[in-house]
Amino acid sequence: MLCLSHELANQKFVMQEINTFFFDLDGTLVDSVPDLATALNQTLNDYQLPTYNEQTIRHWVGNGARVLVERGLSGNAEIRQHYTSNEIDAALVKFLFYYRTLDTKSTVLYDGVFATLHALKEQGFTLALITNKPSEFIEPILSSFSIFSLFSLTIGGDSLPEKKPSSLPLLHACEKLGVSPSQCVMVGDSKNDIVAAKAANIKSIGLTYGYNYGENIAKYKPNWVFDDFEEILTLAS
């Protein structure tokens, strides 16, 4: 008990300077795989290519829409087929069209997300969203769950010249919000989130329930590893 109390005290000390949380979207706040899989399979059908189940596609999500389409065309997380840039662009256009028409109707908010985000906001923390998903989908998804207004800043995969695992989106968010990296925590389910945070000298929370290509998020050594989203409040309260 004494050891546990000491560990908790250390966590509280580390968190004293923190005033800002950065959140990933897919696999962190929402499970969007059902819609992404449907849109990808519709695209693959147009090319008379094999389609894949949600569990397979779940391990392909996290590097943005273009890479997801490339993985679908390859039929593998490792992109093997040699398509031209123009061919990939055309497939991406199809995918985005199908994804828009779905209107994220099968996307769901993970347990504990709504209450935890509201609790963090009420405690005075600044919240920002940093995702590799195209920007056009951010507001519709967040608004559908009545959480868009909680975020002071949102950054999509096409907002800047680089996306996660680059540190650029995180450092850009720091600049826009007027905070230093030491005042921030990145929360995500993917190695891209943890690698980007480390490169930006930002602390990170790895969530085990997301996608992360089937890998254990602890392998990338985030500062904290949580199984449930609401565990974030054990640090913040």
Active site residues: 24
Q: What angle do CA 35, 39, 42 make, to 5 degrees?
A: 140
DSSP structural state of residue 31: E
Give the C-alpha separation, 193 to 231, whole Å: 18
% helix, strand, coil for the chain, step of 5? 50, 15, 35
Beta strands in 10-149 (DSSP E): 20-23, 30-31, 108-109, 126-130
In contact, 21 and 184? CB cutoff 8 Å: yes
Alpha carbons within 13 A on the beta-carbon side of 119: 14
Give the C-alpha separation, 173 to 195, whole Å: 16
Q: Are strands 203-207 and 126-130 parallel, antiparallel or unpaired?
A: unpaired
Write down the residue that tokens 């389910």 correspond to: 189
